[in-house]
Each structure stands twice: as C-alpha cells, then as structure tokens.
Amino acid sequence: MSDYRRSQMPGGTWFFTVTLADRRSRLLVEEIDHLRHAYGQTQQARPFRTLAICVLPDHLHAIWTLPDGDSDFAGRWSLLKSTFSRQLPAHTRTQSKLRKREKGIWQRRYWEHQIRDASDLQRHVDYIHFNPVKHGLVERVADWPYSSFDRYVNNGLVRGDWACSTVADGGFGE
C-alpha cells in the first residue's frame, strides 16, 4: 500500500471531497437527517468550524477550520462516516470491507486540500456552492437545499442570484 501523506497544519483550514462507494447512489440526500445527525455528533465530540458545505446525492464538499493546536481532520471524518454508517443497514460487502468492519457505504479515501490564502478559500467556497449546478441538479445555486449558500446570502456575503445573472463557467476551486 502506498505511503500517503496528508498535511498536518494544526488549526488549519481544508477543503474536502468525501464520496460514497456507489457513485450512482442518492443516499446522502435521501438520508440527509441521518447525515446531519452524524455531522452534529462529530462536531460536538471533535469541534471544528464549517466555513462552507454542500451535500450532493453521492458526495459532499466541505471546508473546515480546526481548533488551534489540532490537525486531526482524518479522525473527524472517520467518526462522521462511521456514525452515519451505523444508522443504516449494511450494503453488499467484499471480504476486505468485512475485515475492516466497513459497511461499504463510503469510499475509503477522500480528497483534501489545505487552503493557502483568502483567494484560495474564495475559489473553493464558490466551487462548493456552484457544484449542484455543475452536476445538473438545479439551474440556480439558490435552489439547492443542502448547501451553506443560504447562510452566505443571509450574512450578506453574496447575493441570492449569485452565478445566475450571467453564465458561470465553474472555473474555480479544484
């Protein structure tokens, strides 16, 4: 197995993509209440700040900032994924998944990117909020209900018609 190294900046900010094993699944939006419960439980047990998030049917994107002196985002994702999975019946599992006590819901790995500066953060926030449009789930960013976009609008950080009045190319983020 490869020796994959992740950034370990205590108190840092990261962009994540976490994906279901079955990319055709709609499990995350169909079980949004279970996902919200798992997210809340994880945030309570292992605090972090969510700067932006978008839950799509088969994957989610989030930007987290960890507390000063803490760099364990991997432990948080493990807790969130296991808490969510325990609330659902097991899917068909391979011998490898059985040995590792996995239900086969999530992909084992996830994508993370350490945010470098304010411009990098803005590009990734925009990417997260535009993602439902990119995937053809809605025509307007404001129409997707499983996103932090409304929070950005309510806090006056963006207009409700952001990425609607002109054709957005989605050329931001990852």
Backbone angles phi, psi at 125, to 5 degrees: -60, -45
How far is the C-alpha of 119 from the C-alpha of 71, rounded, in Å?
A: 22
97-110 burial code (b ≥16 CB/10 A, e <16): beeeebbbbbbeeb
Please identify which of the residues 39, 127, 146, 152 carries the catalytic annotation.
146
Tokens at 148, concatenated: 């932090």
3-state class (DSSP) for residue 17: strand
Q: 110 catalytic, yes or no?
A: no
How far is the C-alpha of 41 from the C-alpha of 104, rounded, in Å?
A: 21
Instruction: Name, in order, each residue with C-beta under 8 angstroms of 164's C-beta and a sequence gap of 6 or more.
Output: 140, 141, 142
Catalytic residues: 146
